[in-house]
Structure formats: C-alpha cells, structure tokens
C-alpha cells in the first residue's frame, strides 16, 4: 500500500511539474516556413510554404458534442480540400494561394465559460486570426473580448444577442427569433379557420431556448394575427417527458408551439406529444416547430413517421440530397478525406463555416501580405467584404456580410417531417425581429 501511495504522490508531482511546462510551451509558428528543402539548382527560388490557421472553440463535451464533432469534421475536410486542390469549392473560380497551407486549430471548450477564456487566449497566441464559438454561453462570453481585440468569428450559436453591437460574430443560419418567425409565417399561410390562431413558446430552458421569448417576438406574432398565450420551458435534455408542459398547451388551446431546442430535447417532447394524442394529424390539433439546431433531418432519422408534422426552420438540406451542389460537395469531401462517414447534418455547417473563415482570410490577403496580416485586417478586409458567397445551396441564400450585417442569408428554409423524411416546405423572408439597442 505504501508503494502505491508513493507512486500516487510521484505521479501527482510529475503531473504538477508537467502542467505549467506544457501550458507555457510555445505553439507552432503560424507564418514561418514549414518546409526546409534544399534549394533546387534552377535560379527561381522555391515557393516558401506558409501556414494559416482556421478553427476555434468546439464544445466536444456536453449537450452539443455530437453536433460539434460533425462541425469539426467539416472544418478538417474543407481545409484538406483547399490544401490539396487550392480551390475554394467546385463551383468557384477563385483559387487559394498555393504557398499557403491551412491548418485547423481547435480546443474542446466543454461549453464552459471560464475555459473558453483561456482557450481564446491560447489560440490567439498561436496566431489564429479568426475565431469560432460553439454555443450561446461561449458567444456571450467572447462577444466583448472579440470586439476589444477586433477579431472576426463564426458561430454555430445564433442567438439574437449577436445582433447587438459590437457585431463581430458572423452567422450562416438565421438567428433563432427569425427562424421561429418563419415557422409562424408558414403556419399562418396554411391556417384555414377564421379565429386568430393561438401560439405559445415551448422552448429549452437555457440561454438558447429563452432567446426567443422576448417582447419583440410577441409583437411580431401579434402583428401577423396570432394570439400569444404564454411560455413553457423544457430542460435542454429532458430527463423525464415534459407531460405537464404539453398538457398546459392543451388546456390553453394552443394551435402552434414554437421554440428552440436541440434534438435530444425536441425528440422526447414530440414523442410525448404523440402519446398525448397531440399533433397536426392527431386528436388534438397542434403544430410544433423549433429553430435549428432542432434539425428536421436528425429528428426524422430518429423518430421516423412518429415525427411526422414536426417543423424546423433554419437548418440545412439533408446529406442525402446530393442534387444540391453543396451537399454533393460535402459527400465528395467525405469520400476523399474521411474513412468513417459523418452523417450528422452539422457536417455541412462545418464546411460552410470553414468556407467563411477561409474566404475572410483570402480576401484579407488580397489587401495585406500574409506576414503582416492581423485579426483586424481579416475582420475589415475579410469578413466585412464577403458578398454573395455561394455555398452551393447549403445555406438558404448566398452569404453576405458587412459592418453591422452579421447574418449572412436573407431567407429562412422551413422543413417538415413528412412520411419519416425531412421535406423542404420552402423559404420565408428574414424579418429581423430582434431590435437591438
């Protein structure tokens, strides 16, 4: 036992000594030559290979772990594609400089704000000129820091708070309020009765879910003819069916329930709805829709026909829809660079996010030489200059950003589960519901 104790103490000491040393280890130089091959006999000097980093924080631990793993895979495959072909996408004619290699820098932030802060500083030290946030807590925590450092970022969290200044986080799918508004628009287009439809929020009880429960949303819903009844919260990942919340909807004669949920929340909620005979084609008629990340594709795969009627706005076309050039591109990327195929819908999201970061870097490099490139250059000459970035149909419209314009697209794709499959119902215009200060 004494030996074990001493071994334990020794391992602790080694660990303690190793930690500061490793933490203080300088990162790889991001703009230094990566190859040291001897010069050829010809007079022309060899191109000096330089490295640029993309990536940022990925919440590989926690509720979004599966989504973020797919996003990271999208980043890695897109970087590999650009490195190999020096193209930006099959449908684009512009090329990426051949003397630059892209690398993906990432860290698991665990959805933990304190951790995000140190990761942010670490990646900044390593020369990452762009950033990304994976969830609302991280986006909220980094918003001011990103602005202070003038670093442009992409995000897979799209709360309306991103529309408040400083606006340096750029997004590829609509903010939750605009996405849920699109569901309301669709619902109203199909409303047959003469009375005003009754709507309630049925949403996750975290920052993401609650971000739609704002006065501006009520005003919009009432302005188009809804009667807003109230709000019910469901845990982000429910540990028991939200029966009470659903029965409240029934008692209050709600016709449409809107919210923001991830699939681990939306699926048990909908299953319980069906069990309670609630649904568009069941005894109690009600429609239920969530903003992406409650992706209809993931939902349909898990629930099949049980999930019929479920609505989702702001998501991407299914990975099976290879007629969409962007989705075909994602499929080709996986064929080329991935042995285990990623089937999660967030893979195209990762590809698009990487595309935006690379485009920002490419545009900035047209103004400033790579060795002198700073995050401010990438923000001002890169992100702000992205206009009509074609994503091959992965996003509802091509992406355009600018100072004060952080939402890339102008329309919202609404999908519904029909016959166990995610079916596109069409696109609805963005209303920019959230009015920032």
Partner 1 sequence: MSLPSGTFNQGYGQDMAIFRTRTHWVMLIAFLIFLFACPLFFGDRILTVLTIIGISVISVHGLNILTGYCNQISMGHAGFMAVGAYTSAILTAKLGFSFWAALPCAALAAGIVGIIFGLPSLRIKGFYLIMATIAAHFIIIWVILQLYGITGGSDGLSVPRPEIGGFVFKSKSSYFYLVMIIACLGTFLAKNIVRTRAGRAFIAIRDNELAAEVMGVNLWSYKLVAFFIGCVYAGVAGSLLVHYVAFATTDQFPFMNSVWYLGMLIVGGMGSTAGAIFGAVFLKLLDELVTIFGPVLSAAVAPQAAASLSLIMRGLVIILFLIFEPRGLAHRWQMIKSYYRLWPFSH
Binding residues for partner 1, rule: CB under 8 A, are 4-5, 8-9, 12, 15-16, 18-20, 22-25, 60-61, 65, 69, 72-73, 106-108, 110-115, 117-122, 124-125, 136-137, 140-141, 143-145, 148, 159-161, 206-211, 213-214
Residue 173 and residue 314 in contact, taking contact as beta carbons nearer than 8 Å: yes
Q: Least distance to partner 1 from the beta carbon of 218, Å?
A: 12
Q: Least distance to partner 1 from the beta carbon of 189, Å?
A: 30
Nearer to partner 1, 29 or 189 (CB): 29
68: left (phi over 0), alpha (psi -120 to 50) or beta: alpha
Nearer to partner 1, 10 or 423 (CB): 10
Nearer to partner 1, 140 or 302 (CB): 140
Nearer to partner 1, 107 or 349 (CB): 107
Q: Least distance to partner 1 from the beta carbon of 206, Å?
A: 7
Concatenating the DSSP letter of every residue in 323-345 gives TSHHHHHHHHHHHHH-SSPP--T
Alpha-carbon distance of 295 to 107, in angstroms, equals 25
Enter the tokens of residue 405. Answer: 């314009």
Alpha-carbon distance of 387 to 43, in angstroms, equals 40
Q: Least distance to partner 1 from the beta carbon of 369, Å?
A: 25
What share of residues in the chain are helix, strand, coil (percent, to 5)?
Answer: 40, 20, 40
Q: Residue for token digits 């739609």?
A: 212
Nearer to partner 1, 174 or 317 (CB): 174
Q: Least distance to partner 1 from the beta carbon of 156, Å?
A: 15
Q: Least distance to partner 1 from the beta carbon of 139, Å?
A: 10
Does residue 412 sit in helix, strand or coil?
A: strand
For 156, list phi and psi in degrees, rounded to 5: -105, 0
Q: Least distance to partner 1 from the beta carbon of 141, Å?
A: 5
Alpha-carbon distance of 110 to 108, in angstroms, equals 6
Nearer to partner 1, 12 or 423 (CB): 12
Work out the angle at residue 89's Cα, subtended by the Cα atoms of residues 83 and 94, and round it to the nearest 5 degrees: 85
Q: Least distance to partner 1 from the beta carbon of 282, Å?
A: 31
Residue 295's closest CA among 228, 222, 346? Answer: 346
Q: Least distance to partner 1 from the beta carbon of 350, Å?
A: 12
Q: Residue for token digits 């993906």?
A: 104
Nearer to partner 1, 78 or 96 (CB): 78
Nearer to partner 1, 208 or 286 (CB): 208
Enter the tokens of residue 368. Answer: 């400033």
Instruction: Give the containing element (helix H, strand E) for 218.
Output: helix 215-223
Alpha-carbon distance of 167 to 146, in angstroms, equals 9
Alpha-carbon distance of 340 to 69, in angstroms, equals 12
Nearer to partner 1, 389 or 407 (CB): 407
Q: Least distance to partner 1 from the beta carbon of 54, Å?
A: 14
Pairing of strands 227-234, 198-204: parallel
Residue 162 and residue 88 in contact, taking contact as beta carbons nearer than 8 Å: no
Please return the burial class of 215, using the count of CB atoms within 10 Å of its CB with bins 0-12, 13-18 and 19+: exposed
Nearer to partner 1, 182 or 208 (CB): 208
Q: Least distance to partner 1 from the beta carbon of 116, Å?
A: 9
Work out the angle at residue 428's Cα, subtended by the Cα atoms of residues 426 and 434, and round it to the nearest 5 degrees: 145
Nearer to partner 1, 27 or 404 (CB): 27
For 106, list phi and psi in degrees, rounded to 5: -150, 155
């Amino acid at each position: 036992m004494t030996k074990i104790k001493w071994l334990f103490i020794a391992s602790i000491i080694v660990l303690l000594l190793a930690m500061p040393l490793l933490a203080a280890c300088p990162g790889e130089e991001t703009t230094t030559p990566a190859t040291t091959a001897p010069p050829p006999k010809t007079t022309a000097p060899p191109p000096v290979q330089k490295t640029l980093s993309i990536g940022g924080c990925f919440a590989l631990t926690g509720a979004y772990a599966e989504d973020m793993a797919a996003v990271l895979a999208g980043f890695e495959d897109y970087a590999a594609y650009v490195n190999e072909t020096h193209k930006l996408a099959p449908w684009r004619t512009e090329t990426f400089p051949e003397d630059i290699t892209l690398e993906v820098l990432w860290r698991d932030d665990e959805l933990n704000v304190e951790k995000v802060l140190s990761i942010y500083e670490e990646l900044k030290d390593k020369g990452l000129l762009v950033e990304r946030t994976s969830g609302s807590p991280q986006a909220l925590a980094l918003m001011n820091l990103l602005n202070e450092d003038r670093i442009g970022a992409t995000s897979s969290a799209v709360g309306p708070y991103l529309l408040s200044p400083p606006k340096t986080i750029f997004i590829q799918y609509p903010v939750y309020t605009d996405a849920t508004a699109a569901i309301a628009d669709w619902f109203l287009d199909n409303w047959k009765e003469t009375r005003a439809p009754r709507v309630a929020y049925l949403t996750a009880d975290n920052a993401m879910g609650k971000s739609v429960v704002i006065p501006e949303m009520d005003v919009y819903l009432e302005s188009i003819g809804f009667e807003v009844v109230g709000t019910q919260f469901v845990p982000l990942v429910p540990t028991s069916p939200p029966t009470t919340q659903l029965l409240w909807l029934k008692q209050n004669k709600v016709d449409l329930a809107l919210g923001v949920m991830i699939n681990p929340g939306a699926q048990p909620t909908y299953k319980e709805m069906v069990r309670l005979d609630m649904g568009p084609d069941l005894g109690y008629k009600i429609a239920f829709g969530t903003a992406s990340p409650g992706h209809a594709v993931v939902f349909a795969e898990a629930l099949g026909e049980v999930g019929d009627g479920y609505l989702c706005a702001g998501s991407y076309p299914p990975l099976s829809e290879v007629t969409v050039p962007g989705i075909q591109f994602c499929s080709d990327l996986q064929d080329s660079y991935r042995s285990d195929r990623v089937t999660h819908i967030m893979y195209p999201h990762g590809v698009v996010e990487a595309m935006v970061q690379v485009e920002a870097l490419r545009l900035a490099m047209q103004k400033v030489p790579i060795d002198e490139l700073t995050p401010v250059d990438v923000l001002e000459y890169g992100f702000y200059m992205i206009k009509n970035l074609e994503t091959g149909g992965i996003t509802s419209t091509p992406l355009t950003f600018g100072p004060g314009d952080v939402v890339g697209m102008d329309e919202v794709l609404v999908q519904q589960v029909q016959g166990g499959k995610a079916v596109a119902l069409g696109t609805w215009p963005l209303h920019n519901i959230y009015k920032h200060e």
